[in-house]
Amino acid sequence: MRVPVLVLALVAVLVAGCDEEPKQVSGPSRESTGDPATAARYAPLVFLADGEKNLPMDATRYIEKASLWFLHGDDCDDHEVAGRVDAARLNEKAADGYAHEQDDCAGNGTKDVKVTEPAAEGTGFFLKAGQGTRPGDGPGAPVYWEFHKDDKTSQVAYVYWFFYGYNDLDRGNKHEGDWERVAVPMKDGKPDGVVFYKHGGLPCKVPWEGKLGKSGDHPHVYAAKGSHGSYPDSGNTYIVPASVDSRSAGTQWNTWENARALPRQPWWGYRGWWGKESWVPVPGFDRIPGPGPNRVINNVFIAKSCDDAEEPVATELSADFEGEWETEKPATQRPRVTPYHIRLSLGRQQSTVHYRTTWDQPDPKLDCAGTWTVTGSTRHLAAMHEKIESTKAGRCVPEGNLSLELVDGKLRVTYTGDNVAMAATLVKRAKTDAPPGTSPRAASGNTTEAALARFEEYLHAVGNENLDVVCDIAGPGAKKAEQEGFGPCRKTMPVMFRMISATQKQALRTATVDTKQVTAKPGEVKVPAKAIKAGTVKFTSSDLGDRTITFQNGQWYVTD
């Protein structure tokens, strides 16, 4: 859901080369730059996928085509530092290196930040790609290598970096300036294996002897189409949440024919990002860093085998996701819009969502409701497809894709496309809260607003076939029917569900009630079926019946 109507795409939760498991770490060795002959001897043979349009590129040539900018933060304009970039002025030893004043939006300066220094959080230098960089240079491009040593264990490795002008993963994760890598750990002066970094999972290792494909001493690496994630074999790998890394033995890239030591590159020491920020609120997507003398890398020396089974992907949410969620702070969106909140009811397969600028004001600038459907899920990661069913105020994109992640009991939601992105953190709501998809009514108390909020929650539960909620809210009425010989709620309600069409169920998931058509008196509200507002779907007494809601023991229930 985004306010500007734009073309949207799904973002993958994990990025190629991301470092999720903090096992052993290493940095470029200051004691030795490594042996160029050894680095070339074990440099990989990379198979670029058939149909790959974004080929490897010379990073220096990319810089020469780019412009250098400084990001001042979410609320300030970016400033151009250099229209044409001299790669040598990015170097850590440059006497005339680029610098920019890190000021606030009003132009009040604090200090000059050098391009080789870390900037304040949320700010920093970035390269904006120039024209003609997306296709790359092809298999003649250089591979960049550096020598790593673990300070604690004295283990060493050669790390090989691949640069691409553009990352174009199908269904998401599109950004300028893409750095990928593999590592070759050494043992007693000989290769011990290859560590592969990829999307949708932790780095993994293939031993040097055995299943690892090699041409002479050059290990085989398969680069996924578009994303360029590194794999030990060809094939298709499903990336949670809902993208596919496809590899094939296409064009061969003999990296040893143009292997360059990183410390000797003119831009070595650059601390900025390698592409215009796409602002995807997932580490590695928003701003792409490259290799550097101060970058510490996790997982160069690991034991996790690439043969280990990945977590299976399901077509419904795990029980950990289920429940009622809401934002404590407004969602963050690019391009910036009026802040809005989210309320969400997650079920195993179908879920309802409500976006609103405010829950307690009568005239919001945004008021949209819709459904989320699972497209792929593991225990803590999920991909869902969104469809907006009703819009009362503002503008919402009709359909789109989302990524969900459970972290420390909270739900992180991200939504991204070529021109827009959203991030939000949601927490569990109490059952008494007004449900997603309703108007912002009072959630409790002996009031008509509270009664209708409760009834709308009942309607949404019917649409989602949520027996727990339906039988809770309809408890007294269901008990009365059971006493009249109709059977218990959990047996009779599924029969009612089957009598309602799929179109009607979908409409009920975001239905509201027209307050002008209800009859209320203290402790009782009567809702005729014609008062149910569900888009173009109309309900009559023969469909759902006219209902009576009664206030009992501090709560509203459907009693008739």
396/469 same-domain check: no
Share of the chain above pLDDT 90, in %: 37
Give all strands (DSSP E) within 18-64, no chain letters.
25-28, 45-48
Give the domain range for residue 552. Answer: 448-558
Mean pLDDT of the chain: 82
Are 333 and 414 a contacting pair, CB within 8 Å?
A: no
Specify if 506 maps to a domain: yes
> Using one digit for the tens of pLDDT, what is the confidence trace for 133-155?
999 999 999 999 999 988 788 89
Residues 111-129 have a mean pLDDT of 86
Give all strands (DSSP E) within 379-445, no chain letters.
381-393, 399-407, 410-417, 421-428
Specify if 232 maps to a domain: yes
Residues 259-266 have a mean pLDDT of 96
452/549 same-domain check: yes
423/469 same-domain check: no
341/423 same-domain check: yes
Nearest to 374 by CA among 457, 280, 461, 464: 464
Residues 214-235 have a mean pLDDT of 94
CA distances to 23, 287, 321 from 192, rounded to whole Å, are 18, 32, 41
Specify if 284 maps to a domain: no
249/333 same-domain check: no
CA distances to 11, 142, 159 from 42, rounded to whole Å, are 34, 15, 10
What CATH code is carried by the domain that includes residue 530? 3.10.450
CA distance 184 to 533: 62
Backbone angles phi, psi at 71, to 5 degrees: -90, 120
323/367 same-domain check: yes
> Using one digit for the tens of pLDDT, what is the confidence trace for 492-523?
777 777 788 888 888 888 888 888 898 988 88
Are 338 and 365 a contacting pair, CB within 8 Å?
A: yes
169/41 same-domain check: yes
Specify if 61 maps to a domain: no
- Residue 234 exposed, middle or buried by CB count within 10 Å (0-12, 13-18, 19+): middle
> Using one digit for the tens of pLDDT, what is the confidence trace for 281-296?
554 445 578 899 877 7
Higher pLDDT, 239 or 229: 229
Among 120-124, 165-169, 279-283, 314-318, whose mean pLDDT is lowest? 279-283
- For residue 309, pLDDT beyond 80: no
Specify if 296 maps to a domain: no
Are 225 and 108 a contacting pair, CB within 8 Å?
A: no
550/458 same-domain check: yes
Q: Can you give the pLDDT at residue 434? A: 42
Structural domain count, the chain: 3
Sign of the CA dihedral with 247 first, then 252, 256, and 262 last:
negative
> Using one digit for the tens of pLDDT, what is the confidence trace for 312-362?
777 889 889 988 999 999 998 877 788 999 999 998 877 889 999 988 777
Specify if 278 maps to a domain: no
Higher pLDDT, 267 or 370: 267
68-72, 310-314, 467-471 — which one is most confidently predicted on average? 68-72
Are 243 and 237 a contacting pair, CB within 8 Å?
A: no
Residues 6+ apart with CB under 8 A from 434: 343, 359, 440, 441, 442, 443, 453, 457
480/411 same-domain check: no
Residues 49-65 have a mean pLDDT of 96
548/509 same-domain check: yes
> Using one digit for the tens of pLDDT, what is the confidence trace for 29-53?
444 578 999 999 999 999 999 999 9
CA distance 183 to 185: 6
* Separation of first and last alpha carbons in the chain: 37
Q: pLDDT tier at 432 (50, 70, 90 boundaries)?
A: very low
Specify if 121 maps to a domain: no
Share of the chain above pLDDT 70, in %: 83
Q: Interhelix angle for 475-483 vs 489-499, to 10°?
A: 100
41/175 same-domain check: yes
> Using one digit for the tens of pLDDT, what is the confidence trace for 403-423?
888 888 899 998 865 566 788
Q: Can you give the pLDDT at residue 559? A: 83
Angle at 513 between CA 342 and CA 325, to 5 degrees: 20
Specify if 98 maps to a domain: no
34/155 same-domain check: yes
What CATH code is carried by the domain that includes residue 332? 2.40.128.120
- For residue 15, pLDDT beyond 70: no
Q: Can you give the pLDDT at residue 505? A: 84
